[in-house]
Chain A
Amino acid sequence: MGLDRREFLKVAGLAGLLGLGGKAAIDMFAPGELEASMETIPLTEGKRWAMVIDVHKIDETIIKKCVEACHREHNVPDLASKKEEIKWIWKEDYEHSFPERHHEYVGEDVEHGSFLLLCNHCSNPPCCRVCPTKATWQREDGIVMMDQHRCIGCRFCMAACPFGARSFNWGDPRRVLEDEKLKELNPGYPTNQDYPTRSKGVVEKCTFCAERLAKGQLPACVEAANTVKKDALVFGDLDEPDSNVRAVLRNHYTIRRKPELGTNPNVFYIV
């Protein structure tokens, strides 16, 4: 990251004044209630980013909002095909989120509850281990990042990910602009003019909104969820003992997906 908080504010402020792209940086100067909870840990300097999803607080509306916010932010198209599906964050039921925990007598609210799944940004990510070109790798702040410029499309990472978090561009995503049916499904695609689309033949996935963190903003899903219910999704630095995520983890019983595989996921669920 290279910049400390003070330096970042200086740069962001300068960029803001000069109108040089750092549009969103201004948000840092007028923190809402949400950002206030992050006061102690600037979003630009985490050591180990993590997310806690409170399953009691999220509902269909929030989930829909999160998914939409993410996919609009990152120009993720709906390709109307299970085979070629691309998703960064999505809804899943309990049985399929935690297949090894499921049993037939599980309580109704859990059984019918909805979970929000995304890349776990594992501390020990098998996807990065297997990538032959380091097109996917772990940043110093723990984010498992994708470099779409470098990916050769071998899909080894998809085989290696135990969480099904990765999607492949089986075709050119921009065909959405030509196909009438897809056009209708994706009004305004590409929805975010400031973010690239992808090209055919590369893998993509959630990046914990690295581009937003760099500007001092929370991930799009966290922001979207919190406009409906406070702390439904909590995002922060696990490495910081006083951080919001650490506090939430201290006070609630949480589970992670497939911890027995030793990948050490950084997305937690309060159930």
Chain B
Amino acid sequence: MLETALKGRQGYWGLLIFLLALMGVGFVSYLYQFSEGLRITGMSRDVSWGFYIGQLTYFVGIAAGGVMVVLPCYLHDYKAFGRITILGEFLAVASVVMCGLFVIVDLGNLPRMLNIMIYPNPTSILFWDMIVLNVYMLLNIIIGWNVLSAERKGVHYQKWVKVLIYISIPWAFSIHTVTAFLYAGIPGRHYWLTAIMAARFLSSAFASGPALLILLCLIVRKVSNFDPGKEQIRTLGGIVAYAFILNMFFLLLELFTAFYSQIPGHMHSFDYLFGLEGHGSVLAPWMWASIGFAVVALVLLIVPATRRREDTLAVGCAAVIASTWIDKGFGLVIGGFIPNPFGRVFEYWPTTPEVLISVGVWATGFFILTVLYKIVISVKEEVGA
């Protein structure tokens, strides 16, 4: 099947070359970081994780979100999704690759990375996160590839693939739960120390993952003869709506606990993130933008008329992605570090090389996604789906 990725129109090659160029820029920036150290980033003694770890967290969510097409299809026998499960699975593969790369670029001492396996520490959540993420990627590659090649040959995929599919469903929940545990079990970082962290992560994942999938489906329809389907997109829209409402509901729960209890530690990070405490915050405009996008998304997704129209649904999905990206890819990690353990505010903002390296990682992810989707499209066109 791989050969189908080698035949494409000009636009396809143009996109790949463009992504390759961005990857090159990212790689050169990384070489600079590798020789100078992480001091070229905006991270500091006080804010010791930043954009990279935020992006890791966000893309674990996108990866987990893919399960929202697999689960209805296989557990509820919702046949319509059978047409697009492969898109969810391959999106998960590309996302996990990005997660891995974001961890790699964040390490201070990359050559020693294998120490995680040579001297594993089972009490470290990072160790478990590495395991669940890698297994999830493998599951999705194997399942996606087998199901797709069976479809191409016009036969039913083998039974053992079905077993893997059933495993992959709870596994998707596990990757984002374990990722939430990176944060939720740390004493002294009040913003993270919340029992609903995993629930918040999952709700935002199940909103942002399918939202991105809807946009990708619309693009696929536009550039190819394969139509993911009107019904499929409409059902996904409903899933995004429910999940995003839950996500905002969970945020309100956090705000209630913090501000009704009036416990300073619980309020401080929110105060800082939304610029409520006098000392200005570089993040405040972003966090308010996140709220703004959320309001737009809620309106467009809740009103049935706008949810069912594909153009307004697309705007709603873009707003979901923007809102959750700021909240989780940015605010979540940084908010946990501010104020610092001494109650002081030391701010963080990513540097240009840091952003360029991140662009390189995104480009790598989208390169992989483009190639995988090209294969899917070629097969689907071939079998006349």
B78-116 interface (Cβ within 8 A of A): 103, 106-110, 112-113, 115-116
CA distance A134 to B126 in the complex (A): 12
A151–B46 CB distance below 8 A: no
Query: Are B186 and A160 closer than 8 Å at their CB atoms?
Result: yes
Complex contact B187–A171 (CB within 8 A):
no
* A interface residues, how many (CB within 8 angstroms): 47
Q: Select from chain B the residue with minimum beta-carbon distance to A258.
A: B188
* Cα distance, A129 to B186, chains bound together (Å): 10
Docked pose: A131 CA to B124 CA in angstroms: 6
Main DSSP-derived SS at the B contact region: loop
Given the interface contacts A84-B45, A171-B39, A172-B37, does A96 sit within 8 Å of B187 by beta carbon?
A: no
Query: A99 to B340, alpha carbons, bound, how many Å?
Result: 11
- Residue in chain A with minimal CB distance to B263: A100
How far does the alpha carbon of A85 sit from the alpha carbon of B342 in the complex, in Å? 15
Do A261 and B37 touch across chains, with their CB atoms under 8 A apart? no
Partner of A162, one of B107, B187, B344: B187
Closest to A97 in B: B342
User: Given that A96-B344, A129-B123 are known contacts, is A168 also in contact with B186, CB under 8 Å in the complex?
Assistant: no
Contacting pair B37 A161 (CB below 8 A): no
Q: How near does chain A come to B269, taking the closest CB pair, in angstroms?
A: 14
Number of A-B contacts (CB under 8 A): 139
A159 partner, pick from B41, B108, B113, B337, beta carbons under 8 A: B337
Contact A169 B341 (CB under 8 A): no
Q: Is the CB of A162 within 8 A of B342?
A: no
Return the CB mask of A154-180 against B: 1 if under 8 Å, else 0: 111011111110011111100000000
- Given known pairs A164-B340, A201-B37, the reply for A263 and B187 (CB within 8 Å) is yes
Interface residues of A (CB under 8 A from B): 82-86, 92, 95-97, 99-100, 126, 129-135, 150-156, 158-164, 167-172, 200-203, 258, 261-263
Besides A126-B186, A159-B48, 17 new A-B residue pairs in contact (Cβ under 8 A), listed by A number: A82-B346, A95-B343, A97-B342, A100-B264, A126-B187, A130-B125, A130-B126, A130-B186, A132-B116, A154-B107, A162-B188, A162-B341, A170-B39, A170-B44, A171-B36, A201-B108, A263-B187
17 A–B pairs (Cβ distance < 8 Å), ordered by A: A84-B39, A85-B45, A96-B342, A126-B187, A126-B188, A133-B119, A150-B115, A152-B110, A152-B116, A153-B107, A153-B109, A162-B188, A163-B188, A164-B341, A168-B45, A202-B108, A261-B187
- Residue numbers of B with Cβ under 8 A of A are 36-39, 41, 43-46, 48-49, 103, 106-110, 112-113, 115-116, 118-121, 123-127, 130, 182, 186-189, 264-265, 336-337, 340-344, 346
